[in-house]
Chains A and B, each alone.
Chain A
Amino acid sequence: MGALASLGAFLVSFLPRAVAQGIPLLYGSTGETITEKAGNLNLGIPGIMYVGGISGVIGAFLYEQRLNAGAPVNAFLIIMIPLVCSLLGSLMMGLIYSFLTISLRANQNVAGLSLTTFGIGFGNFFGGSLIKLTGSEVPSIALTTTSQYFSKKLPFADNLSWFGKIFLSYSFLAYAAIIIAFVTAYVIRRTRIGLNLRAVGENPATADAAGIPVGRYKYVATCLGSMIAGLGGLYYVMDYACGVWSNDAFGDRGWLAIALVIFTVWRPDLSVFASILFGGLYILYLYIPTGTRLALKELYKMLPYVVTLVVLIISSMKKKRENQPPEGLGIPYFREER
């Protein structure tokens, strides 16, 4: 009984943290899945999530400046300003990527990687500037007021013991991530738009001949995917990190999100669970007593990547056609080449 109780206690404290870790990954992987379904391998996702985060921070910072000047807090604006800023920032990144790869048919890998480099630099530059502006002693900037609104939990979460802690203790952005993922999965698998999108990613020439506007599908999917991924950055800063932006804190979560797309065989509904699993693996090292042996800790940090590799190996060994990447992934399309 005692062991069971302590396992229960462990889960109640572990699961919510795993979920909180998983949500940015879920946003990133849902966004990347939509993009890849249109045949665009966007390796700019880590940078885009960065930009999504810092854009929200900039918006929130400017609004908090007004609050500091004595304006009353408007609950609507304090949510909407960072949200819209974040969406616009990642939309801009998505547009750059789309223009480069769809209109100019640039190499997708190069375009994506340079966007990632650019996005991280963009984030650190503006992050650093804001830190300078505040004249803060620590190299970070805290937006506590905004964060309070972003991390508001469901009001009755605390009254419901373990159930409340595991299922109800999250902010609206977390639930939104899960809803977006399920809706995306439904749209891709069950609707006409989803069918057309898959055709564009698999075989753009066929889609074109069937009268599907290939370019438009690719643009919309890539930009929408970027915006969703950018929300992951916003969630990370405003909720997970309690409104504290410090440069490079977001880490390699963006790459993990891309790995998650492969892990979930391009299915956002699976990603809901897989992202929580990855989130758990990501922080598992905190829960495994390693004592003073720091090297062991570092080994545990490898877990999400090891799991991804194993899944890659298994899925390529099984060779199930549905579990392979879209056939047209990474290949620019232009009609005259047929």
Chain B
Amino acid sequence: MRNITKTFGSTVANENAQLDIYRGEILAILGENGSGKTTLMNMLAGIYYPDSGQIYYDGKEIVIASPGDAFSYGIGMIHQHFKLVNVLSAAENVALGLKEKGRFNIKKVAARIRELCDQYGFELDPEEKIYNMSVSQKQTVEIIKVLYRGADILILDEPTAVLTPQETEKLFRVLRNMRDAGKAVVIITHKMSEVEELSDRVVVLRKGAYVGDVLTKDTNAEEMTNMLVGHKVTLEIVRPEPVNPKPRIEVKDLVVRSEEGILKLKNISFTAKSGEILGIAGVSGNGQKELLEAIAGLQPVESGSIRYIRDDGGSDELVGRDPYDIQRMGVSLSFVPEDRLGMGLVGSMDITENMMLRSYRRGHTFLLDQKKPHSVAEDVVHDLSVNTPNLETPVRRLSGGNVQKVLVGREIASAPKVLLTAYAVRGLDINSSYTIYDLINEQKKQGVAVIYVGEDLDVLLALADRILVLCDGQVSGIVDARETDKYEVGMMMTRLSKKEKEA
């Protein structure tokens, strides 16, 4: 298999990306969020279809138009979000959609699964129902599903994101077995340590484009970070000096566990000051969401404390409080999730009504106050130049970027004391991004404590006063944004600093 080159026309998901995959090798694809790793692989797996470009298989050009086509070339992909039917057993899930000849016999399928398990060192009971399985078992079913169909090329999209270290170790052993059996394994990741530990070769993607291709043994983390972060036009973002910063939020030894029991935050401690922007850097999924939700009262906290310090110097504990109480104290959360509408906005309601979601409890009469939300909506639309036919358009119909402006605009309009924002500019064009930066700076000048979770290191470095770097649910460091550079932060993002490791 050689020389996969793909170009995308209008979207910049992938631009002239290219990739070689060899049998008997583990290839890691490294890149920041949104650098097009998953898109590129989805084209191999038949989920997306490339706008232009060619795929060669053993030197011959092929067309992959559907998952079925991909299977026929022995390409199987294990998606981040598993595609399994919960009430069926593992064997039944594997048998789904198979077009084998002869009488349907689930026992035969189960027997073949056991063979595969022995061959590669999986542990799995084919009769077990999916809903009884742990995340790692489900992943095993997904891998077997692909192997069962005779895949030679396995693509795993961030397979370790949901696994414990022990499970990750087990998975890596299995993947090495597969490599030794002559299969090609591709893993998408943004964890440097995994690349170093597992892969034979690394391909780095940045902003949808192919940056480079190195043998893992010939490189080191620093060089990979260089390739990963790359160079780009420095953004001119104003950074006013913080005025009279005072501690506002004090987080101490915060521990948060996800529903599945995975430790998401380990002993986080920091202070956010008024009139200051605290940037939070880290590869997505390293605890940013949990941290913000814990402060906003949406996430159960296992231990630790979050204290809100009032202007008069007194302080209140936020842990265990109702989110509405926290909100009334002036803590405002604007989290922009990947699907944008998932949190914060109701898609079928219009802009004014979405503004009302924040204010409806404030009125004292039986009827809702329509006027104020309406004028807030007008302001947001005007200030952020939201592209909408009118205020009565359901938010769902707006484009993603505009939806985001409505969300961020509303949170800022609620005049908070603490503004929590995550990925505020995700998917926004340059102009809108700058409007958002200006708005955030405006809040900072008014003495709001801003906690800004960002993906783009350049922006974080230019906008924030201090940067807290999260890695694997731990603080790998808090640095002064004026004195650090993105290499330092990038290194901290992918591994805990030596000091922390020893501690």
Task: Write out the residue numbers on chain B whose beta carbons fall within 8 Å of the beta carbon of A202.
Answer: 85-88
- Contact yes or no, B68 A195, CB < 8 A: no
- Contact yes or no, A209 B87, CB < 8 A: no
Q: Determine which of A192, A199, A324 lies in contact with B85 in the assembled complex, contact meaning CB atoms within 8 Å.
A: A199
Main secondary structure of the interface of B (DSSP, over half): loop
Check: B97 CB closer than 8 A to any chain A CB: yes
Q: How far is the CA of A205 from the CA of B95 in the complex (A)?
A: 16
- Contact yes or no, A321 B86, CB < 8 A: yes
Q: How far is the CA of A23 from the CA of B66 in the complex (A)?
A: 45
Check: B179 CB closer than 8 A to any chain A CB: no
Q: How far is the CA of A190 from the CA of B84 in the complex (A)?
A: 19
Task: Write out the residue numbers on chain B whose beta carbons fall within 8 Å of the beta carbon of A198.
Answer: 85, 87-88
Check: B235 CB closer than 8 A to any chain A CB: no
- Contact yes or no, B104 A210, CB < 8 A: no
Check: B360 CB closer than 8 A to any chain A CB: no
Check: A284 CB closer than 8 A to any chain B CB: no
Task: Write out the residue numbers on chain A whose beta carbons fall within 8 Å of the beta carbon of B71.
Answer: 211
Check: A191 CB closer than 8 A to any chain B CB: yes
Check: A64 CB closer than 8 A to any chain B CB: no
Check: A203 CB closer than 8 A to any chain B CB: yes
- Contact yes or no, A203 B66, CB < 8 A: no
Known: A190-B104, A192-B104, A321-B129. A212 touches B85 (CB 8 A): no
Residues 331-372 of chain B, each 1 if its beta carbon lies under 8 Å from chain A, else 0: 000000000000000000000000000000000000000000
Q: How far is the CA of A71 from the CA of B104 in the complex (A)?
A: 50
- Contact yes or no, A210 B97, CB < 8 A: yes
Known: A211-B68, A321-B129, A321-B131. A195 touches B84 (CB 8 A): no
Chain B interface size, as a band, is: 20 to 34
Task: Write out the residue numbers on chain B whose beta carbons fall within 8 Å of the beta carbon of A196.
Answer: 96-97
Task: Write out the residue numbers on chain B whose beta carbons fall within 8 Å of the beta carbon of A191.
Answer: 104
Per the 8 Å Cβ criterion, residues 84-136 of B in contact with A are 84-88, 92, 95-99, 104, 129, 131
- Contact yes or no, B85 A206, CB < 8 A: yes
Residues 267-304 of chain B, each 1 if its beta carbon lies under 8 Å from chain A, else 0: 00000000000000000000000000000000000000
Known: A195-B96, A211-B68, A212-B96. A206 touches B83 (CB 8 A): yes
* Shortest Cβ distance from B69 into A: residue: A211
Q: How far is the CA of A322 from the CA of B71 in the complex (A)?
A: 30
Check: A270 CB closer than 8 A to any chain B CB: no
Residues 198-227 of chain A, each 1 if its beta carbon lies under 8 Å from chain B, else 0: 110011011101111000000000000000
- Contact yes or no, B83 A203, CB < 8 A: yes
Residues 46-63 of chain B, each 1 if its beta carbon lies under 8 Å from chain A, else 0: 010000000000000000
Task: Write out the residue numbers on chain B whose beta carbons fall within 8 Å of the beta carbon of A192.
Answer: 95, 98, 104
Which of B68, B85, B92: most chain A Cβ within 10 A? B85
Q: Nearest Cβ in chain B — how far from A210, in angstroms?
A: 3
Main secondary structure of the interface of A (DSSP, over half): helix
Per the 8 Å Cβ criterion, residues 297-327 of A in contact with B are 321-322, 324, 327
Known: A202-B86, A202-B87. A211 touches B104 (CB 8 A): no
Task: Write out the residue numbers on chain A whose beta carbons fall within 8 Å of the beta carbon of B92.
Answer: 195
Q: How far is the CA of A195 from the CA of B104 in the complex (A)?
A: 10
Residues 109-129 of chain A, each 1 if its beta carbon lies under 8 Å from chain B, else 0: 000000000000000000000
* Shortest Cβ distance from B99 into A: residue: A211
- Contact yes or no, B87 A322, CB < 8 A: yes
Q: How far is the CA of A190 from the CA of B85 in the complex (A)?
A: 17
Residues 190-203 of chain B, each 1 if its beta carbon lies under 8 Å from chain A, else 0: 00000000000000
Which of B66, B71, B83, B99: most chain A Cβ within 10 A? B83
* Shortest Cβ distance from A201 into B: residue: B85
Q: How far is the CA of A209 from the CA of B95 in the complex (A)?
A: 13
Q: Determine which of A199, A207, A211, A324 lies in contact with B66 in the assembled complex, contact meaning CB atoms within 8 Å.
A: A211
Q: How far is the CA of A203 from the CA of B46 in the complex (A)?
A: 19
Chain A interface size, as a band, is: 20 to 34
Q: How far is the CA of A73 from the CA of B86 in the complex (A)?
A: 55
* Shortest Cβ distance from A194 into B: residue: B104
Q: Nearest Cβ in chain B — how far from A173, in angstroms?
A: 30
Q: How far is the CA of A212 from the CA of B83 in the complex (A)?
A: 13
Check: B67 CB closer than 8 A to any chain A CB: yes
- Contact yes or no, B87 A206, CB < 8 A: no
- Contact yes or no, B84 A203, CB < 8 A: yes
Task: Write out the residue numbers on chain B whose beta carbons fall within 8 Å of the beta carbon of A327.
Answer: 85-87
Residues 323-338 of chain A, each 1 if its beta carbon lies under 8 Å from chain B, else 0: 0100100000000000
Per the 8 Å Cβ criterion, residues 171-190 of A in contact with B are 190
Q: How far is the CA of A210 from the CA of B97 in the complex (A)?
A: 5
Q: How far is the CA of A202 from the CA of B93 in the complex (A)?
A: 12
* Shortest Cβ distance from A206 into B: residue: B83
Per the 8 Å Cβ criterion, residues 481-498 of B in contact with A are none
Q: How far is the CA of A66 from the CA of B85 in the complex (A)?
A: 55
Q: How far is the CA of A210 from the CA of B148 in the complex (A)?
A: 12
- Contact yes or no, A195 B67, CB < 8 A: no
Q: How far is the CA of A206 from the CA of B47 in the complex (A)?
A: 12
Q: How far is the CA of A205 from the CA of B66 in the complex (A)?
A: 14
Q: Determine which of A190, A203, A211, A322 lies in contact with B67 in the assembled complex, contact meaning CB atoms within 8 Å.
A: A211
Known: A192-B104, A211-B66. A203 touches B86 (CB 8 A): yes
Task: Write out the residue numbers on chain B whose beta carbons fall within 8 Å of the beta carbon of A212.
Answer: 96-97
Per the 8 Å Cβ criterion, residues 69-96 of A in contact with B are none
* Shortest Cβ distance from B131 into A: residue: A321
Residues 317-328 of chain B, each 1 if its beta carbon lies under 8 Å from chain A, else 0: 000000000000
Q: Nearest Cβ in chain A — how far from B39, in angstroms?
A: 14
Known: A195-B104, A321-B131. A206 touches B84 (CB 8 A): yes
Known: A206-B83, A210-B96. A199 touches B68 (CB 8 A): no
Q: How far is the CA of A147 from the CA of B101 in the complex (A)?
A: 45
Q: How far is the CA of A205 from the CA of B67 in the complex (A)?
A: 12
Q: Determine which of B67, B88, B104 lies in contact with A209 in the assembled complex, contact meaning CB atoms within 8 Å.
A: B67
Q: How far is the CA of A300 from the CA of B188 in the complex (A)?
A: 65
Would you mind naming 12 contact pairs between A and B with Cβ atoms under 8 Å apart? A190-B104, A192-B98, A192-B104, A196-B97, A198-B85, A199-B88, A199-B96, A202-B85, A205-B83, A206-B85, A209-B47, A321-B86
Which positions in A face B, CB cutoff 8 Å? 190-192, 195-196, 198-199, 202-203, 205-207, 209-212, 321-322, 324, 327
Starting from the known contacts A195-B88, A202-B85, A202-B86, 11 additional A-B residue pairs (CB-CB under 8 Å) come to: A195-B95, A195-B104, A198-B88, A199-B88, A202-B88, A206-B83, A206-B96, A210-B97, A211-B67, A211-B68, A321-B131
